Chains A and B, each alone.
Chain A
Amino acid sequence: MSAVTFTTELIISSDTRYLSFLRQWVGAAIVVSGSAHVFSAVKAKMSLALIEAVDNAIYHGNRGKRHLPIVIRLLIRKNLMRMVIVDCGSGMKKRSRDLPTPLATHGRGMFLIDHFMTSVYSCVKNKRHLLTLTYKP
């Protein structure tokens, strides 16, 4: 299959039991899209970025309310991979991109996302928070 544009979408509840499945989903999408030669080397980084974003959606966006949905869209194109995570929250506060102090127990999730992705964009539309993660090799 040639890599033109591959899109897939998942809707999950705010439940951490999906995390393992989501990591496999990213890996499978890379293969099915025909872009394994481009993205296989960064599969672990893309998976971690997605998991960190979904953690944020579960605990911050949807405040741990299990029944609230999270929509995850994955788009793979030649030399571009984009993940959009949609939750029911009101968006993100202005945040530091710095690595927290060594003994801090929080604050590494967004740092890792920023580190792995080429761009990170947050916005609110129709009372939904959209976090768009884009990677360009």
Chain B
Amino acid sequence: MTVESRGTVQVVRCSGSIDADTVSAFKKRMLEIIAQGSAHLVMDFSTLHFIDSMGLGTLISLLRTVRGKNGDIKIASMSDDVKMIFQITRLDRLFDVAPDATGACEKFAR
């Protein structure tokens, strides 16, 4: 996972998978980022190949946390497989989804 600051937005690029094996480390790192005052987050999923229901649950938990701080999580660059999972679980309606990280960052400026 890498984090890049673009103004007030933190772009978090996730690689590999977010599953039962990796989700604890993922959540811990994300909570550290949020604790540093970042509530405007873009998850760049361009190199994320797999996410399971535990990963989805953690994303929702993080979304609840940042929305409680008047922030948001926007999701960018989903692969077809990851997009399919978001569509089936209808999380593409809960999360604001953008084609790429730049477009997701621009959504915060509107």
**CA of A112 to CA of B58 in the docked complex: distance in angstroms?**
16
Q: Which residues of B contact A47 (CB under 8 A)?
A: 50
Do residues B21 and A48 form an inter-chain contact, with CB atoms below 8 A?
no
Interface range on chain A (Cβ under 8 Å from partner): 20 to 34
> Do residues B57 and A51 form an inter-chain contact, with CB atoms below 8 A?
no
CB contact between B53 and one of A23, A58, A112 (< 8 Å): that residue: A112
> A42-62 interface mask toward B, CB cutoff 8 Å, 1 = contact, 0 = none?
001101100110010011000
Which residues does chain A contribute within 8 Å of B46, judged by CB atoms? none
**On chain B, which size bracket covers the interface?**
20 to 34
What total count of A-B pairs have CB within 8 Å? 67
Q: In this assembly, does B89 line the interface, its C-beta being within 8 Å of a C-beta of chain A? A: yes
Decide if A20 is an interface residue (CB 8 Å cutoff).
yes
Given A102-B91, A108-B89, A112-B85, check contact A16 B53 (CB 8 Å): no
Determine if B93 and A102 form an interchain contact, defined as CB atoms under 8 angstroms apart.
yes
Q: Is B88 an interface residue (CB 8 A)?
A: yes
Q: How far is the CB of A133 from chain B (nearest CB, A)?
A: 15
B20–A106 contact, CB under 8 A? no
B96 is an interface residue with CB less than 8 A from chain A: no
Query: Across the interface, do A105 and B61 meet the contact criterion of CB distance under 8 Å?
Result: yes
Contacts of B57 in A (CB 8 A): 104-106, 108
Chain B: minimal CB distance from A52 (Å): 6
Looking at the assembled complex, report how far the CB atom of A105 sits from the nearest CB atom of chain B, in whole angstroms.
4
**Of residues A17, A108, A109, which shows the largest number of chain B Cβ atoms within 10 Å of its Cβ?**
A108
Contact of A135 with B by CB under 8 A: no
On whether the beta carbons of A112 and B88 are closer than 8 Å, the reply is: yes
- The residues of A that contact B50 with a CB separation of less than 8 Å are 23, 47-48, 51
Quick check: A55 and B54 within 8 Å, CB to CB?
yes
Chain A residue at minimum C-beta to C-beta distance from B16: A20
Q: Answer whether residue A111 sits at the interface, using C-beta atoms and an 8 A cutoff.
A: yes
Residues on B facing A (Cβ under 8 Å): 17, 19-21, 50, 52-54, 56-58, 60-61, 63-64, 81, 84-85, 88-91, 93-94
Instruction: Give 19 A-B pairs besides A16-B21, A47-B50, A102-B90 with Cβ atoms closer than 8 angstroms.
Output: A19-B19, A20-B19, A20-B21, A44-B84, A48-B52, A51-B19, A51-B52, A52-B52, A52-B53, A102-B60, A102-B93, A102-B94, A103-B60, A104-B57, A105-B61, A108-B57, A109-B52, A109-B54, A111-B53
